[in-house]
Amino acid sequence: MLQELFTPSVQHVLDLVGIFVFAISGALLAVRKNFDVFGIAVLAEVTALGGGLFRDMVIGAVPPAAFTDLGYFSTPLLAALLVFFLHPEVERIQVAVNVFDAAGLGLFCVAGTTKAYEYGLGLTSSAALGLATAVGGGVLRDVLANEVPSLLRWDRDLYAVPAIVGATMVVLCIRYDALSPFTSGLAAVTAFVLRLLAMRYHWRAPRAWHRRSTATESETP
């Protein structure tokens, strides 16, 4: 299983890195929306922990890890403070932040799928919760910021699709009894690389066939 990929301490560090980067994206959006320090902290926490909290509540893993491990809760606050004081500098390294965000996406879609299956869910449900783990925090972030969630917007590079691919690879490996540290890592790397390619080449999901809408990217809120 995924837990065998790394020692518990290394896995914990990777989780915290993913949480930190997701929190940075939430805090940056809060700054762009002119939120106060409390709003910045809330958006950082929601973005970093929202997907995992949703997954844990659905599968009955209570209390969720975010409430039993102080590091999970305090890491987004650290990211919020960093952005509060240094947001111009953080904005300048947005490309690096996006790369780490893509890595978090790959790790969390695989970890979420595996954990859901270990708690007794079927393959399809496990993949769905893997996706929710990876993108749920971003959806909540955008909703709280009064924006259309990024993964629903046609003018955004693919985000959910790489997570879907990673989660699907995991459940296929489970189905054919091929889940191992190597295949789990391969699924995470595949999602990571797909996200990087989507950002590099601006891959986007197709819109409705023969649609009649005349909306343009500039008209999208």
Residue 213 included in any domain: no
Residue 221 included in any domain: no
- pLDDT at residue 114 above 60? yes
Q: What mean pLDDT is reported for the chain? A: 89
User: Could you read off the pLDDT of 13-61 as tens digits, one per residue?
Assistant: 878 888 998 999 999 999 999 999 999 999 999 999 999 999 999 999 9
Residue 218 included in any domain: no
Residue 210 included in any domain: no
- pLDDT at residue 221 above 60? no
Indicate the length of the chain as a whole number: 221
Contact 149, 143 (CB under 8 A): yes
Q: What is the pLDDT of residue 151?
A: 86
User: Could you read off the pLDDT of 179-188 as tens digits, one per residue?
Assistant: 988 899 899 9
Residue 76 included in any domain: yes
Number of domains the chain contains: 1
Q: What is the pLDDT of residue 91?
A: 80
Q: What percentage of the chain carries pLDDT values higher than 90?
A: 66
In degrees and rounded to multiples of 5, residue 30 shows phi and psi of -60, -40
First vs last C-alpha separation in the chain: 42
What would the mean pLDDT of 140-154 be, rounded to a whole number?
92
Q: Which residues contact 150 (CB under 8 A, 6 or more apart)?
A: 138, 142, 156, 159
Query: Distance between alpha carbon 17 and the CA centroid of its chain, in Å?
Result: 12
Q: What is the pLDDT of residue 215?
A: 58
Contact 163, 135 (CB under 8 A): yes
* pTM of structure: 0.87
For residues 72 and 23, give the distance between their C-alpha atoms in angstroms, rounded to a whole number.
11
Q: What is the pLDDT of residue 219?
A: 47
Residue 193 included in any domain: yes
**Token code pair at residue 37:** 């320090």
Percent helix, percent strand, percent coil in the chain, to nearest 5: 75, 0, 25
Domain extent, residue 147, equals 2-204
Residue 98 included in any domain: yes
4 or 205: whose pLDDT is higher? 205
Q: Which residues contact 13 (CB under 8 A, 6 or more apart)?
A: none
Residue 216 included in any domain: no
From 196, 172, 201, 197, select the one nearest 98 (Cα to Cα): 196
